[in-house]
Every structure is written in structure tokens, then in C-alpha cells.
Chains A and B, each alone.
Chain A
Amino acid sequence: MLEELTAVFPILSCILFLPVVGAIVLWFVDDEDTVRSSTLTIALVELALSVFVLLRFVPESAAMQFAERVQWIPALGISYHLAVDGISVLFVGLTAFLTVLVVVYSWDTIRHQVKLYMMCLLALETTTMGVFLSLDLILFFVFWELMLIPSYFMIKLWGGGAERHYAALKFVIYTLLGSVFMLVGIALLDINYHQWASLHHSDHAYSFDLLELLTVPIPIGQQILIFWLMFLGFAFKAPVFPFHTWLPDALLEGPIGMAVVLAGLKLGTFGFIRFSIPLLPDASKSDTVVMVVVVLGLCAILYGAWMALVQSDFRRLLAYSSVSHLGFVVVGLFALNYQGLQGSLLTMINLGFSTAGLFFIAGFLYSRQQTTQLAAFGGMARQVPLLATFFLIIGLASIGLPGTNGFVGEFLILLGAFEAKWWVGSVAVLGVIFGAAYFLWYYERSMLGPLGSAVKSTMSDLQLREMVIAVSLSIMILWIGLYPSPFLRIMNGSVQALVDRLHQEKTAALDNSVTEGR
């Protein structure tokens, strides 16, 4: 069982509930400007707390840190169990960071029902934090589902597209459908624990606790069944090709703020590395699973990039480029070696800066032209040079230019994939070429060349708030690209533990079968 460092002060609970408590307080505020500034304050405090956790986090350690555990439904072995380790702690920081930026972005772009919007946003932050912080699978599941409520309303009420109602419903149904499978998987894990515990006279009859579930062996047949059930849950959410069609709709129809969160926080693939791979190592290693998942990943890389090449709407392009990037993440995860896992984890974080950053850029474009269709752009670099510059910086990060964060993650993924199976790495490398093609082609047609006829001559360059967003994202992009050391050190311990588990488990499982054979 992994080591746990218990928190002296329940800081994770503070992080978890501060936004939702803030949202409730907002209910009583009437003035719109006060709503904005108090939301920003809450988000900043939340960010400060997260940064504090990151600073106090012991790097190069596999331990679960800042752990809090309270019994919730003891009869069922459900507990309120929060902790962070090298896998999840960066997501906490990222969530807090992006929420601040979304609040800044929404400051003057959301004009109606400001209070409700901000409440939804804060509720969304709490539920997202819950997903990253929970170590109890039921608790995790609750947050996973609750997340849909604010998301649904954000898309439906503040979306700009005509199809937003359809998109919101599609998003919810898709995710719900996936989570039904996941819930069955969770139940099976619990039942397996129960059987094992009964056999070994353990006092905990039931448990949904990740750390406890990790201690019991699971027969390989069970593992594979559970793996596929959970896979569906995570794959629908991620989304992994071919379950991705909700994404372009949701990103296009929903508000920019929602798109940033949906595209920036890779919850689905987080599920793989948090639960599927550690809990079901033998299934994750089995040939069929690896083959199917990796081939889906490769399809996603190429298919997504190809689709992105022909999109004329920038937000649809970004949706497909997300599909492509998630393909990279999946391929890296199921390389099941150090570089692959580390690279995937880093890439998930990176996408929170680059893909989310490009959605902010899409937002800046939308604020100016009321659309993200290519027809409305052309030669804008002359009129909005700053926007064009940051567009390029963030875009280059998303296609993995060395010196930006994207490269470090992508390189590690490709290296890991190549080490695991050379042909997987070789096919995935093609994504690097396509990435350059779709991004630069779009950039060329929207920003370069002669001024487009639909471009307004009164267009202004980036405003102060927009600069804050663009500059802070660029700083993160260059920081991780040039000096990723602090981030890698945070991850290393947990990644090493995961790799060890994947490689030990073979012998452990063998022992287990020997005991059963006797």
C-alpha cells in the first residue's frame, strides 16, 4: 500500500469546497461588478491555496500527500478520502489557474445572467477539483456526475450557437452513458474486494477506496471486464476516437469559458492513469487491450489531425486537434513505460495551457468578429499584431515546437511509444507533420496574406485583460518548455511507483494463481 502523508490542516477540503461555498455566497450579491470581483477573488484565493499545496508538495515521492479521510457510509465502505500525489497534484493547480483565466476572460464577454454564470463556473471548479482529489471511487463518481450539471447549463444558457440545446444534451447523454458502464465497473471492483476480504477474514467487508483496492489481487478475466467497462466511461469523456462526436458540437456551441475547461482539463485520460492502469495492471498489459487501445489512439492522432486540416471553423479545428492530442496521450499511456506515462501526464497538463490557450484565442477572435469561421478572417496580423503573435506562440506550443511545453510532453510520449513498439512510435510521428500542416495552414489563411474583406477596420488589438491571459499562458508554455524540472520532479515519484507496479504485478499475479491452484 502506498504511503500516506496525512495533512495537519484540511487544505484539500478547503480547495474542494471554497468555490462552491463562494458560489452560494454569490447568490446574495446583486451588483454585477461585485459579482465579478468577488468571483475573481474566490478564484485567486483558490489558486493561492493550490500553489501552496504545490509548493509544500514533497517531490520525487510516490506518497499520497495532504490526505484526509472520514467515514461517509461505513456500511458500504464509502469514505470521504482526499489526497494528492504526483499524478493529480498538477491538475489541481491547473484547474485553479484556468478558472482564474476564465473569470478574467468572462469579465466583459458574459453580459447576461452574470451571477448565474459565475456560480456555474465556481460549481464546476468544485466538481472538477473533486474528480482530481478523490481517492474513493464513489466520491469520485459523485463529482464526475455532478460536473455535468453546471456544464449542461453553461452550454445551454451561455452558448453562442443555434444548436446549443442539442449540443448540451448530447454532451450530457454521452457522458452519462459512459458513466453507467463505469459505475458497473466500480461495483465489480467493490465486489471483488469483498470476496477477497471475506476469504482472508479482513475486517473491512467493503471498500471503494483506491488505496485499499490496490492491495487486493484481481483475477485477470475480471480485470479485463472491468477495464473495458471503465474504458467506456473514460473514453466517452476524454473523448477517445470514435466516441468524439459530442466534442466539436459542445466546443462550438458552448461558451468559450466552458470550452476552455472541457478541452483544457483532460478528465477522461486522467481516469486512465489514476484508476484503470494502477487498479488493473494485468488487463492494461494484456496484448488485446494494448493493441485495441493503441490502435484507437493512433487512429485518433491521424484522424483528428486530418479532420483538423479541412475545418473552416477555428473551434471545430481545435476540437479535432484535441482528438488528435488525446490520441497521443492514449498512445503514451499504453506504452506502459516510464517515458510514455510521464510524457502523457505532462501532455495532459500541457494541453491545459496550449489547447485551452487556443480556445482563449478563439474567444478573442469571437469577441472581434462574432464568429470563428475562416471567412470572417484574413490578413489580421496587420490590424491585431499582438493577437497574431500570441496566436502563433500558443499554436506552436500545441504543435510541439521545441522550447515550448508541447515538445517535452510529445517527445517523451513518442520516445516511450517507440520503445514499446517501434511501429507505434513511427506512425505517431506522422501526427507531428500533420500538426504543423493544419495549424500553419489555418494561421496562414486567417492571420497572413492581404486583409480579408469581412475584417472590420475598427478592430482593436488585445485589451489589458486579454493580455493578462495571453501573457500568463505564454509564460507557462515557455517555462515548462525550457525548464520543466519542477514539474517533472513532482511527477517522478508517482510515475516510478506506477511503472514498478506494472512490472511487479506480473509476479504478484503469478503468485496469486499459484495460491489459488493449491
Chain B
Amino acid sequence: MSDTIDLLIKLIPLFPLMAVVANGVFGHRYSHELAHRLAWGSVGLSFLCTLVVFADVLRTGASHEVVVYRWIFGGELTINFAYLVDSLTCAWLLVVTGVGFLIHVYSVGYMHGEEGFTRFFTYMNLFMVSMLLLVMGNNYLVLFIGWEGVGLCSYLLIGYYYDKVSAAKAASKAFVVNRIGDAGFLLAIFLVFVNFRTLDYTKVFAQVGQLSPEMATAIALCLLVGAVGKSAQLPLHTWLPDAMEGPTPVSALIHAATMVTAGVYMIVRNHVIFDLSPFAMAVVAVVGGGTALFAATIGLVQTDIKRVLAYSTVSQLGYMFLGCGIGAYTASVFHVMTHAFFKALLFLSAGSVIHALSGEQDIQKMGGLSKRIPWTHRLFLIGTIAIAGLPPLAGFWSKDEIMAHAFNTHHYLLYSLAAAGALMTSFYMFRLTYLTFYGSSRMDHHTEEHVHESPMVMIAPLMVLAFLSGVGGLVLGFPPEQGWLHGFLAPVVGTGVEHEATGGMTILLMGVAIVIALMGWGLAHFLYAVSPVTADGWVEKFSGLYRLLLNKYYIDEVYDLLVVEPLKRLGMILDWFDRTIIDGVVRGVGHLADWGASGSTWVEKYIVYAGLNVIGYGNHLAAREGRKMQSGMVHHYAAIIVAGLFLLALVVQLVVQM
């Protein structure tokens, strides 16, 4: 049985890899039909394998470690290419392969007729491979392959429409910003190796007790830098909204459901190290809480449907970090899972809207779509209610658990950040819904004529996601703090921080959360359904603030001004320095040598050559052929060098004899 499970574990990333090779190398030889079947089929097979492995882990509670081969080794370092599948990995595997499968199916419809159809699926499958390695690796370096691999796929897919300048720029930006985080992650890996002489999780975590608090803080903070880059937290969040240049299924899969949660995975995986450092934990919590609120404020005023969702993703990831920072690891994982359901649902329905409107993404040019595309409307609404945090949908349970945990462990400031963020989330999501689906149409005539509901291949996956967004919270995490997921993850993350919350308090906090969500909805209803004039009035009144938010606090501009431009300028100065100073010195020396050379030329001409000519005359005759080809000098050089060497030998000999 165990052997079968090990084999299945090996197969999970192998299926999509085979599809990558097939579609990547031979994809242009066969039809799009076969290409997409290979693509979603392979992910489907991975999902089936995952289910079996999951059932086994669920039944036995054991974790599986599978070594594939020895990867990097030498001296005392051995790094295996190996997998570790425990309950934490299972949770991610289910999301990655399950949601991934649905998004692949959806993409068949969404990408239909696009140029580079096969290329799209090749990249998507490569992403699946990387993401699977990321969560399945049994050591930091296999995680790192996945870590940079998903970054690469993100780069490739953001730049999918590569002849668009904005897409190309967004792609490079995403990769470089991610690499800043990766550099931090690398430092963490080095620190781990220096301290533990191994990079395997099980061995590292077993000896974690010998770590000094300072070292634990150092490792945890370096890991955090990596997590912040990948999960688009402050201050490295700028790449994610730009990443919306990619096709919408990409935004759903990579930039909402899976890749961006890698930072959370990494922190939860390393929670024993974080637990040792209260300071690092505090930093994680503050980064998370700050980002949750910060990104929500930007989301309030954005007008691009995908950008609103992007900032909402950044904000939701902030909640997950906040949860990690206060030790509510299970709640964070819970939120990762529910978020994967409803954010994938929202993005894909947004994709369906965009599809219906022939590519229009500006919500100012939408409105009144609820009757034209009823299915999309219903599905989007379910997603909105789920993310806004109204029971019994999924988002309520997971977000509430994080917030309640913050309150119960007396992190009142963090709780209020999260609560303010929740209010804004509810508001901007309903604002989005109202502006898109209700009111009167603001579409231009041409677009309006072509509005159509998406095909079944796109709607069906959405229904599954809507179902999951509906019941996922109850199934995974009810009752709060004692749900199924808590029991399942307990072997890996422990039972979490104890706190003395009474049942009454729990219910009270839930009530507050519901009120907050309803207030957001109410405000959105008032501003965008009842009295749109008021909304415009507020924009007038607070135009400074409005513009600040609309321009995302000018952070991109500030980074350009403070980092990118100075770097380029300094590069220019260095270039001048290189050409003028360093090379100038060289040329100066060269000129000095010129004078010496004219002296030695005389010697060469009248003494060395004279001697050599005697020897070389015969040679000269033979080389007449060669001289025609302008290379008559070759043997001169050779002769001089050989003569020089003999001269040298002679001198050494003389010195020795003396």
C-alpha cells in the first residue's frame, strides 16, 4: 500500500510535466483539441492521485517522504530531490490540483481562438508542476525550485500578450520584484544550513530547539522577505495589480488561488521557527494587518474590474499573514482554501463578463448586465457575498476565525485594522457588483450588441466553485476553532495558541462581523443604487484623497524615483567611469609603452629580425602561399615565441650555473 502511495506521489507532478514536454515540443504538430485535452487531462489525473493520497493521509494520519534522486551533493551537503506529503501539503495539493483543474477546463472556453493557444496551456501546466514542487518538496531547495518556477510561469503568462508594451513591462516587473523576495529567501536557506547542516524539513524542525532566539528571528525575517515578495505584501505588493495584464484564467489560478498563497504556505511550514521569535511574529502580523487595510483602501476607487479583484487579493493575503502572525495557522490555511474558492470564482466570472463584453474591463463602461448574462451574474454575486463575509458562505467563517483569534489574544489594534479592512472589502465588492450588473447600461452600442452568455465549458467550472464557496466554510471549519480542518492539520501546526474565549464572546464577534459586512453592503447600495449623485459628490469633496487612492498612493512613482532611476543613473556614471577612467589608465599605460616600443622596435628590426631572417629565410620561401592570405606573420610570431622561450631557458640555465 505504502509503495503505491509513494508511486502516486511521484506521479502527481509528473503528469503535468509530461503534458508540458508534449505540448511544448510537439504542440505545433497537432490540433488545439489534443493540446487542451492533454493539458486539463494531466491536471485531472494529478487531482485523482491527490485524492487517493489524501484519503491515505486522512486514514492513517502518517506523512510520506519519497526520495526521487540525489540532486546536489558534495562534502557534507546532500540535497535530495524528494517529496514530503503530510496533511499541510495535502491541503494545498487539493486546492492546487482541484481548483487548477477547474481553471484549466474553463480556459478551454476562454482561450478559444486565441493565438498561442498551445503555448498558453504549456505555460499553465509548467506552472502546475512548479506549484506542486513548491508544496511537495521535503526540503528548502525543492521548495525553492517551485518558488522560482512559479515566478517564471507568472512572468511568461503575464507577458502572454507579449507585443503589448504594458504586458511585457508588467512581466519583467513581477519577476524582478519576486527576485528581491527570493534573495531574502536564499539568505534564509543559507542561515538554516549554517545552523543545522541540512536542508530537510524533518531534520531541521527536529533540532529547532537548539536555535538561539536571535538566530530564529534572523531566519524568520529572511523567510518573511521571501514570503512578502511572493505573496505581494507591503512593500513588495506593486507587481500583483500589474500582473492583471495576463489572461484572466491566469489571474485566477496564479495571482489569486495558488501562487500568491505560497508565502503563507512557507510561513506555516516553518511555523516552529517563527514560534521561537515573538518579534518576527509581530512583524508578520503587522505586515499582514497593514496590507489588509492598505490594499482595501486602494480597492475602494479602482475602476478596472480585474484591478479591484487584484487589490482585494492583496488585502485577503494580508488577512492570512495576520493570522500567521498571531499564531492562528490553521485559520490562515482555512482562509487560503476558502479564498481559493471564492477568488477563483470571482476572477473567472469577471473573465466571463470580459468575454461577454469583447474585452472591456472598465466598470464605468458596464452596468445592467444582470439580465443579459444571468448565470455569470448569479455566480459573481455568490462570490461577492462569500468574500464580503456573510454567513453561511465560506469567507465568513475563515475571515471571522482570524479576526476572532486576534481579538481573543488581545491584539486589539490588529483586530481593528482587520475590521476596517472587512468593512471596505464588503463595500468595494458590492460596489463592483452594482456597477457591473445593476443600474443602467453604460456600454457603447457596438459592445452592447455583442453581449452574450459564456459557453457551458466556462460556466460549469464556475458552478463547482460557487458550490465550494457556498459550503466550503461550513464543511472545513465549522464549528469555529474545532472544525474538521483543525483536526486534520493538528499533526503539523499543533493545536494553536490557547485562549479563553467563551461561547458568548465567539457569537458576539460573529455578530459584529456580520454587522460590518452588512454596513459595507448598505453603503454600496446607497451610493451606487439609491443615490449615485452622492457618490460623485464625495469624489468632488475628497478629490485629493480620491486621487491619492486612485493612483495607489503613488508608490510605483516613488519607487521609480527613489530606486529605479537612481540605479539607471548610477549605471550610466559607471559606464562613463569604465570607458574613461579604467580604460583611460590602460591606454595611458599603452602610450607609455609606445615610447618604450619605439626603442625596442629598433632592437627588434635590426637585431632580432636580422638574426631570425637568417634562420627563417628558407621558411619564408615556403610560406609565400601563406603570405598571399595576409597571414605571413604567423610563423614570425611562433618563431619569436619559440626563440624567446629558448632564450629564457638559456638565461635560467646560466643563472642556475652561477
- Chain A residues near B583: list those with CB within 8 A: 245
- Asked if A464 is at the interface (CB within 8 A of a chain B CB), the reply is no
Q: Shortest distance in angstroms between B607's beta carbon and chain A's nearest beta carbon?
A: 20
- Which residues in window 418-460 of A have CB below 8 A to B? 418-419, 422, 425-426, 429-430, 432-433, 436-437, 440-441, 443-444, 447-451
- Asked if B182 is at the interface (CB within 8 A of a chain A CB), the reply is yes
- Asked if B71 is at the interface (CB within 8 A of a chain A CB), the reply is yes
Q: Shortest distance in angstroms between A209's beta carbon and chain B's nearest beta carbon?
A: 15
Q: Please, how many angstroms separate the alpha-carbon atoms of A450 and B572 in the complex?
A: 26
A126-155 to B contact mask, C-beta < 8 Å, 1/0:
000000000000000010011001001100
- Chain B residues near A451: list those with CB within 8 A: 163
Of A41-49, A283-291, A487-495, A510-518, the segment with at least 4 beta carbons within 8 Å of chain B is A487-495
Q: Shortest distance in angstroms between B218's beta carbon and chain A's nearest beta carbon?
A: 10
- Chain A residues near B189: list those with CB within 8 A: 415
- Chain A residues near B74: list those with CB within 8 A: 338-339, 342, 412, 488, 491-492, 495-496
Q: Please, how many angstroms separate the alpha-carbon atoms of A499 and B72 in the complex?
A: 18
A485-507 to B contact mask, C-beta < 8 Å, 1/0:
10010011001100100000000
Q: A173-B590, A437-B176 are in contact. Are A381 and B194 (CB under 8 A)?
A: no
Q: Shortest distance in angstroms between A27's beta carbon and chain B's nearest beta carbon?
A: 9
Q: Is the CB of A449 within 8 A of B574?
A: no
Select which of A73, A146, A450 is within 8 A of B649 by beta carbon: A73
- Chain B residues near A161: list those with CB within 8 A: none
Q: Please, how many angstroms separate the alpha-carbon atoms of A448 and B169 in the complex?
A: 9
Q: Shortest distance in angstroms between B236's beta carbon and chain A's nearest beta carbon?
A: 12
Select which of A153, A415, A441 is within 8 A of B172 by beta carbon: A441
Select which of B162, B574, B630 is within 8 A of A306 by beta carbon: B574
Give the interface size bracket for B toward A: 35 or more
Q: Is the CB of A432 within 8 A of B631?
A: no
Of B145-153, B304-312, B434-442, the segment with at least 4 beta carbons within 8 Å of chain A is B145-153
Q: Shortest distance in angstroms between B520's beta carbon and chain A's nearest beta carbon?
A: 39
B118-148 to A contact mask, C-beta < 8 Å, 1/0:
0000000000000000000000010011011
- Chain A residues near B586: list those with CB within 8 A: 170, 174, 245-246
Of A98-106, A324-332, A396-404, the segment with at least 4 beta carbons within 8 Å of chain B is A396-404
Q: Is the CB of B634 within 8 A of A153?
A: yes
Q: Is the CB of B180 within 8 A of A449?
A: no
Select which of A146, A309, A449 is within 8 A of B162 by beta carbon: A449
Q: Shortest distance in angstroms between B278's beta carbon and chain A's nearest beta carbon?
A: 24
Q: Is the CB of B571 within 8 A of A426?
A: no
Q: Shortest distance in angstroms between A193's beta carbon and chain B's nearest beta carbon?
A: 12
Counted as pairs of residues, one from A and one from B, with CB atoms less than 8 Å apart, the total is 173
Q: Is the CB of A436 within 8 A of B179?
A: yes
Q: Is the CB of B145 within 8 A of A149?
A: no
- Chain A residues near B182: list those with CB within 8 A: 432
Of B447-455, B548-556, B637-645, the segment with at least 4 beta carbons within 8 Å of chain A is B637-645
- Asked if B214 is at the interface (CB within 8 A of a chain A CB), the reply is no
Select which of A142, A153, A379, A408 is within 8 A of B72 by beta carbon: A408
- Chain B residues near A73: list those with CB within 8 A: 649
Select which of A157, A402, A418, A443 is within 8 A of B194 by beta carbon: A418
Q: Shortest distance in angstroms between A119's beta carbon and chain B's nearest beta carbon?
A: 9
Q: Shortest distance in angstroms between B69's beta carbon and chain A's nearest beta carbon?
A: 7
- Asked if B183 is at the interface (CB within 8 A of a chain A CB), the reply is yes
- Chain B residues near A412: list those with CB within 8 A: 72, 74
Q: Shortest distance in angstroms between A264's beta carbon and chain B's nearest beta carbon?
A: 23
Q: Is the CB of A484 within 8 A of B634?
A: no
- Asked if A366 is at the interface (CB within 8 A of a chain B CB), the reply is no
- Asked if B545 is at the interface (CB within 8 A of a chain A CB), the reply is no
A53-92 to B contact mask, C-beta < 8 Å, 1/0:
0000000000000000000010110100000000000000
Q: Please, how many angstroms separate the alpha-carbon atoms of A488 and B164 in the complex?
A: 43
- Chain A residues near B629: list those with CB within 8 A: 113, 116
Q: Please, how many angstroms separate the alpha-carbon atoms of A401 and B629 in the complex?
A: 46
- Asked if B413 is at the interface (CB within 8 A of a chain A CB), the reply is no
Q: A76-B649, A425-B190 are in contact. Are A485 and B571 (CB under 8 A)?
A: no
- Asked if A356 is at the interface (CB within 8 A of a chain B CB), the reply is no
Q: Is the CB of A440 within 8 A of B172?
A: yes
Q: Is the CB of A440 within 8 A of B186?
A: no
- Asked if A310 is at the interface (CB within 8 A of a chain B CB), the reply is yes
Q: Please, how many angstroms separate the alpha-carbon atoms of A426 and B218 in the complex?
A: 13
- Asked if A303 is at the interface (CB within 8 A of a chain B CB), the reply is yes
Q: Please, how many angstroms separate the alpha-carbon atoms of A454 and B593 in the complex?
A: 43
- Asked if A111 is at the interface (CB within 8 A of a chain B CB), the reply is no
Select which of B165, B570, B590 is within 8 A of A449 by beta carbon: B165
- Chain B residues near A145: list those with CB within 8 A: 641
Q: Is the CB of A338 within 8 A of B653?
A: no
Q: Please, how many angstroms separate the alpha-carbon atoms of A153 and B638 in the complex?
A: 13
- Asked if A382 is at the interface (CB within 8 A of a chain B CB), the reply is yes
Q: Is the CB of A245 within 8 A of B582?
A: yes
* B72, B586, B652, B656 — most chain A CB neighbours (10 Å): B72
Q: Shortest distance in angstroms between A393's beta carbon and chain B's nearest beta carbon?
A: 11
Q: Please, how many angstroms separate the alpha-carbon atoms of A381 and B586 in the complex?
A: 40
Residue on A with the closest CB to B576? Answer: A310
Select which of B145, B175, B190, B567 is within 8 A of A402 by beta carbon: B145
Q: Please, how many angstroms separate the alpha-carbon atoms of A352 and B633 in the complex?
A: 31
Q: Please, how many angstroms separate the alpha-carbon atoms of A420 and B364 in the complex?
A: 58
- Asked if A242 is at the interface (CB within 8 A of a chain B CB), the reply is yes
Q: Is the CB of A433 within 8 A of B176?
A: yes
Q: Please, how many angstroms separate the alpha-carbon atoms of A418 and B194 in the complex?
A: 8
Q: Is the CB of B75 within 8 A of A342?
A: yes
Q: Shortest distance in angstroms between A450's beta carbon and chain B's nearest beta carbon?
A: 5
- Chain A residues near B593: list those with CB within 8 A: 173
Q: Please, how many angstroms separate the alpha-carbon atoms of A303 and B578 in the complex?
A: 10
Q: Shortest distance in angstroms between B553's beta carbon and chain A's nearest beta carbon?
A: 24
Q: Please, how many angstroms separate the alpha-carbon atoms of A194 and B658 in the complex?
A: 14
Q: Shortest distance in angstroms between B522's beta carbon and chain A's nearest beta carbon?
A: 46
Q: Shortest distance in angstroms between A415's beta carbon and chain B's nearest beta carbon?
A: 6
- Asked if A359 is at the interface (CB within 8 A of a chain B CB), the reply is no
Q: Is the CB of A499 within 8 A of B574?
A: no
Q: A242-B582, A433-B176 are in contact. Are A402 and B148 (CB under 8 A)?
A: yes
Q: A310-B575, A401-B152, A430-B183 are in contact. Are A339 and B75 (CB under 8 A)?
A: yes
Q: Please, how many angstroms separate the alpha-carbon atoms of A73 and B424 in the complex?
A: 87
Q: Please, how many angstroms separate the alpha-carbon atoms of A426 and B189 in the complex?
A: 12
Q: A402-B148, A451-B163, A491-B74 are in contact. Are A418 and B190 (CB under 8 A)?
A: yes
- Asked if B168 is at the interface (CB within 8 A of a chain A CB), the reply is yes
- Asked if B70 is at the interface (CB within 8 A of a chain A CB), the reply is yes
- Chain A residues near B145: list those with CB within 8 A: 402-403
Q: Shortest distance in angstroms between A437's beta carbon and chain B's nearest beta carbon?
A: 5
- Which residues in window 152-210 of B have CB below 8 A to A? 152, 155, 159, 162-165, 167-169, 171-172, 175-176, 179-180, 182-183, 186-187, 189-191, 193-194
- Asked if B76 is at the interface (CB within 8 A of a chain A CB), the reply is yes
- Chain B residues near A206: list those with CB within 8 A: 656
- Chain B residues near A183: list those with CB within 8 A: 648
- Asked if B73 is at the interface (CB within 8 A of a chain A CB), the reply is yes
* Smallest CB-CB A-B distances: 5 pairs: A338-B75, A448-B168, A310-B571, A418-B190, A402-B145
7 A-B contacts, Cβ less than 8 Å apart? A76-B656, A116-B629, A149-B637, A402-B148, A422-B194, A448-B171, A449-B165
Query: A76-B652, A76-B653, A444-B171 provided; 14 other pairs, C-beta below 8 A?
Result: A113-B629, A194-B656, A245-B583, A246-B586, A338-B77, A342-B75, A381-B163, A402-B145, A432-B179, A437-B176, A449-B162, A451-B163, A483-B69, A492-B74
Binding site for B on A (CB under 8 A): 73, 75-76, 78, 113, 116, 142, 145-146, 149, 152-153, 157, 170, 173-174, 183, 187, 190, 194, 206, 242, 245-246, 303, 306-307, 309-311, 337-339, 342, 379, 381-382, 396, 401-403, 407-408, 411-412, 414-415, 418-419, 422, 425-426, 429-430, 432-433, 436-437, 440-441, 443-444, 447-451, 482-485, 488, 491-492, 495-496, 499
